[in-house]
Amino acid sequence: MKNLVILPTYNESKNIVKTIDLIFDQNIDVDILVIDDNSPDNTASIVEGLKNNKIFILKRESKKGLGSAYVDGFKWSIKNNYDKIIQMDADLSHDPNEIVPMFNLLDQYDLVIGSRYKGGLRVINWPIQRLYISYFANLYAKIITGVPLKDLTAGFKAWKVETLKKIKYNECSSQGYCFQIETSFRAHQKGCKLVEHPIVFTDRTVGESKMSKAVMLEAVLKVWLFGFWRLFRLKK
């Protein structure tokens, strides 16, 4: 079985080396694909300087967005015959110690979601206002889409490659949080077996957040398209 971790990056020069080191510290044979959107802080050059044959890099010419980065990463992983994939942030907010248990769960499930809200709140370094916004945004998305997950906007996920093919990942057009909602929604609609694996999410302490009003607005509005899609399918 070939395992891959996908790390989208934009200005992660202060975090990327530590993130990669922690991933390789895990007790599993895994490759890493870094997808860099022409970071002006030379993130790509730092990765290339590591000179490790288990690290690969896709350099994109501009900042195209998180969703398209993952689509490109999924396409690359399928082309290179990987079996299991983990997508995660490169800013140390996702704990690499969860990689092995999430990969193991793929023996029973099609998609594993690293959940901040399964079995209680597990978020560190967030102000209470942001925590409330995230929690109720996930509840809002769950009600509209009908996907039985507590953390629909989670960015820490483990995929079987066959699941990605089944959901037609290349047709996803969303970015940011909405991309996470869309891929889980597509998996649920296709009858895939989903499970939430509790994680502790630690907000970045180094570097700048990529959150923007446009990303939040997309998630608020586009989730209704998934809701209408769901209702249309139920009526058929």
Sheet containing 194-198: give its strands across. Answer: 55-59, 31-36, 3-9, 84-87, 157-160, 111-115, 194-198
- Residue spans per domain, the chain: 3-235
| pLDDT beyond 50 at 236 | no
Torsion of CA 57, 109, 236, 185, to 10 degrees: -40
Instruction: Tell me the three state secondary structure of residue 96.
Output: helix
**Domain 3-235: top CATH class:** alpha beta
Q: State pLDDT tens for residues 37-66.
A: 999 999 999 999 999 999 999 999 988 889
* pLDDT interval class at 1 (50, 70, 90): confident
pTM assigned to the model? 0.90
Q: State pLDDT tens for residues 83-92.
A: 999 999 999 9
Strand segments (E) across the chain: 3-9, 31-36, 55-59, 84-87, 111-115, 123-124, 157-160, 194-198, 201-202
User: 36 - beta bridge partners?
Assistant: 9, 59
What Cα–Cα distance (Å) separates residue 26 from each residue in 6, 102, 202, 206? 15, 12, 19, 23
Contact call for residues 93 and 201 (beta carbons, < 8 A):
yes
Higher pLDDT, residue 144 or 214 = 144
How many Å apart are CA 43 and CA 216, to the nearest integer?
26
How many Å apart are CA 172 and CA 178, to the nearest integer?
10
Residue 59: the pLDDT is 96
Higher pLDDT, residue 209 or 213 = 213
